[in-house]
Amino acid sequence: MSALRSERVDPNAPLLGVEHLTMRFGGLVAIDDVSFDAEDKKITAIIGPNGAGKTTVFNCLTGFYKPTVGRLTLNHPRKGPYLLERMEGYQIPQKAAVARTFQNIRLFSQMSVLENLIVAQHNKLMEASAFTFAGLFGLPRYRHAEAEAVELARYWLNRVGLEDRADWDAGNLPYGDQRRLEIARSMCTEPVLLCLDEPAAGLNPRESADLNRLLTFIRDEHNIGLLLIEHDMSVVMEISDHIVVLDYGRKISDGNPDEVRNDPAVIRAYLGEEEDEELPPEVAEDLASDKSDKR
Using CB under 8 A as the binding rule, whether residue 154 contacts another protein is answered as: yes
Closer residue to another protein, CB minimum distance, 92 or 269: 92
Q: Does 155 bind another protein (CB under 8 A)?
A: no
Nearer to another protein, 145 or 269 (CB): 145
Residue type, 132: T
Does position 148 bind another protein by CB under 8 A?
A: no
Q: Which of residues 172-201 bind another protein (CB under 8 A)?
A: 172, 185-186, 189
Q: Which of residues 44 and 186 has its CB atom nearest to another protein in the complex? A: 186
> Minimum distance between the CB of residue 17 and another protein, rounded to whole angstroms?
21
DSSP collapsed to 3 states, 250-286: EEEEEECHHHHHCCHHHHHHHHCHHHHHHCCHHHHHH
For residue 257, the minimal CB distance to another protein (Å) is 28
Q: Which is nearer to another protein, 197 or 247 (CB)?
A: 197
CA distances from 239 to 182, 189, 217, 244, 254 (A): 20, 23, 11, 14, 16
Question: Which of 118, 152, 229, 236 is close enough to bind another protein by CB under 8 A?
Answer: 118
151 burial type by CB count under 10 A (0-12 exposed, 13-18 middle, 19+ buried) = exposed
How far apart CA 192 and CA 204 sit, in angstroms, is: 29
- Sequence-separated contacts (24+) of 176-179 with Cβ below 8 Å: 176/202, 176/203, 176/204, 176/207, 178/105, 178/107, 179/101, 179/105, 179/203, 179/207, 179/211
By CB under 8 A, tell whether 210 contacts another protein.
Answer: no
The only residue of 22, 24, 42, 102 in contact with another protein, by rule CB under 8 A = 102
The residues, ordered by sequence, that sit 6+ positions from 31 with a Cβ below 8 Å of its Cβ are 21, 22, 23, 53, 56, 57, 60, 67, 246, 249
Instruction: Decide: is 89 part of the binding site for another protein (CB under 8 A).
Output: yes
Check residue 76 for interaction with another protein (CB under 8 A).
no
Query: Which residues within the stretch 9-48 sit at the binding site for another protein (CB under 8 A)?
Result: 25-26
Closest approach of another protein to the CB of residue 183, in Å: 12
Q: Give the range of 132-140, 205-213, 247-255, 273-281 binding another protein by CB under 8 A.
A: 132-140
Contact 105, 183 (CB under 8 A): no
- Displacement of CA 249 from its chain's centroid (Å): 18
**Sole binder of another protein in the list 169, 207, 238, 286 (CB under 8 A):** 169
* DSSP-derived 3-state class of residue 13: coil
Q: Give contact residues for another protein (rule: CB under 8 A).
A: 25-26, 55, 59, 62-64, 88-95, 99-100, 102, 106-112, 114-115, 118-120, 122-123, 125-126, 129, 131-132, 135-136, 142, 146, 150, 153-154, 157, 163-169, 172, 185-186, 189
